Structure 1
Amino acid sequence: MSTYQKALSASASASAVLALLLATACSPEPGASGTGGGAPPKPAAGGSALAAVDTLTVKGRAPKTGYEREKFGRAWSDVDRNGCGTRDDILARDLTGVRFTGGRCKVASGTLADDPYTGRSVDYVRGRSKVDIDHVVALSDAWQKGAQKWDPGTRLRFANDPLNLLAVDSTANRRKSDGDAATWLPPNKAYRCAYVARQVAVKKKYGVWVTAGERDAMKRVLAGCPGQRLP
């Protein structure tokens, strides 16, 4: 073999070795996606309510000492300055067939066609209503989990934030009282994922913490609907 032929042979061998090393380095590990080992479970979506639970602070419940409804400002204040109180804003948003009295604000009647807490239809008539406006994260619950440290303006905004308010069946709402996800969930099981997602969204927005039991309850519900997004 000539000197030239030996050089070509050595060069080809070196190229083959290099190609083999590169192929080995770039090969997927056994069990990775695209191989016979099967893909690992997908984590919760980045914008999902389930993923957001882990961003909430976990602490013990503080005493309820000092809590009064008035600490969150005058009930149903016109915080958005549209000329209407928050209660009527939410009624107008959540009811169907709305009729007003005495101007454009006061809701006289309407129908809560699909009450989120019970799934039933509930008629609303001003003055003898079976519809409440619920704080999804109860004010006293928030008070025991951080709100007692807030300034009055923040508490006022929290109490009137549409994200934290729903028109609901009054009986179900009063059974809920100031319960969190560990102590009360809507009887309407079809709404539980959306309900817990809304609680997570409110607590994340305002920095309200959760207890360990509450966090675990939130995860149990949302594990059944991992694609549920924050409202």
Structure 2
Amino acid sequence: MTRARTIWLALFAAVSVLVAYQTVVSAAEQSAQFIAAADVPTVAPGEDVLAGVAVVPLRVRSQDYRRAAFGESWTDDNDAPGGHNGCDTRNDILDRDLVEKTYVAISRCPTAVATGVLHDPYTSLTIPFTRGNQTGAAVQIEHIVPLAYAWDQGARIWTDALRVRFANDPANLVAVQGQANQDKGDKEPALWMPPNEAFHCQYAMQFIAVMRGYGLPVDALSVQPLQQAAHTCPVG
């Protein structure tokens, strides 16, 4: 291969990565709105719920994934209701998703949830929440599109700032039973769906919306589970 051809191919690869990244940034600006457990989306007859989402043959698990690439901890730089209020994303999502809440001021957060009740969308269980290292683990903040899955599907080429934004995006977060969160791990829809089948519609539509909003492709094995779940949505 000539030196000129080698340089041309290197430039082409660099431009391709830049274009892909710019597309992701643009798409992320249109991040999905969170679909609450009580808000059941509708699907039009014949609607392609995966329109605008690329499909790749397989999820190829990366050996270089690290949670720290998405930020060391929760931030206050998010768009949750009441965001930018001194409370980090975890506290904002607890406030959004729990009911019958009481509050306590901690650190810079004047309205951290002290106690509350979660009507868990993943299991349909009612779970009491009390702030604390042990009791607080009963309710966890779950990434609908797992961070490791996003990394494998393309987030590895994002900037650190975009990965932090993704990890703290309320549209990709939901309070759930701790055990359900652990059971899911970083599994894609081909390998895991919520035990509560009544929530499959919301879960699939939110998963798809996040993937679309961030320009991430879904693996082919997850297409059918997502479509089947979306077909449980009411016809709109």
Confirm or deny a common fold (TM above 0.5). yes
Asked whether 1:70 is paired with 2:76, we answer no
Determine the structure 2 residue equivalent to 1:88: 91
SS in 1 for 2:233: coil
Q: Which has the higher strand share?
A: 2
CA distance in 2, matches of 1:175, 1:125: 22
Segment of structure 1 superposing worse, 54-63 or 91-100: 54-63
CA distance in 2, matches of 1:225, 1:165: 20
Cα distance change, pair 87–161 in 1 and its aligned pair in 2 (3 A) = same
Q: What TM-score results when the alignment is normalised by the length of structure 2?
A: 0.72
Determine the structure 1 residue equivalent to 2:117: 111
Determine the structure 2 residue equivalent to 1:16: none
Amino acid aligned to 1:62: V
SS in 2 for 1:52: coil
Superposition CA RMSD, Å:
1.8
Determine the structure 2 residue equivalent to 1:45: 44
Which of 177, 188, 193 does residue 180 from structure 1 map onto? Answer: 188
Which of 55, 74, 87 does residue 52 from structure 2 map onto? Answer: 55
Cα distance change, pair 209–134 in 1 and its aligned pair in 2 (3 A) = same
Give runs of aligned pairs for residues 14-25 of structure 1, distance below 5 A.
Answer: none
Asked whether 1:125 is paired with 2:123, we answer no
Which of 207, 210, 222 does residue 230 from structure 2 map onto? Answer: 222
List runs of 5+ in structure 1 lacking aligned partners: 1-43
Amino acid aligned to 1:136: I
Amino acid aligned to 2:74: W
Q: What TM-score results when the alignment is normalised by the length of structure 1?
A: 0.74
Determine the structure 1 residue equivalent to 2:10: none
* Contact 2:201–2:231 under 8 Å retained in 1: no
CA distance in 2, matches of 1:182, 1:62: 14
1:167 positional shift: 0.5
SS in 1 for 2:120: coil
CA distance in 2, matches of 1:165, 1:143: 16
CA distance in 1, matches of 2:64, 2:166: 18
1:121 positional shift: 0.4
1:222 positional shift: 1.5
Q: Deviations over 1:8-41 (max 9, x none)?
A: xxxxxxxxxxxxxxxxxxxxxxxxxxxxxxxxxx
Q: Deviations over 1:103-136 (max 9, x none)?
A: 5232211100x21001010011111220000000
Amino acid aligned to 2:125: R
1:64 positional shift: 1.8
**Identical counterparts, % of pairs:** 39
Amino acid aligned to 2:141: I
Asked whether 1:194 is paired with 2:192, we answer no
1:82 positional shift: 2.2
1:144 positional shift: 0.5
1:63 positional shift: 3.1
CA distance in 1, matches of 2:144, 2:169: 10
Determine the structure 2 residue equivalent to 1:203: 211
CA distance in 2, matches of 1:139, 1:89: 19
* Contact 2:49–2:230 under 8 Å retained in 1: no
CA distance in 1, matches of 2:96, 2:234: 28
Determine the structure 1 residue equivalent to 2:101: 98
Segment of structure 1 superposing worse, 216-225 or 117-126: 216-225
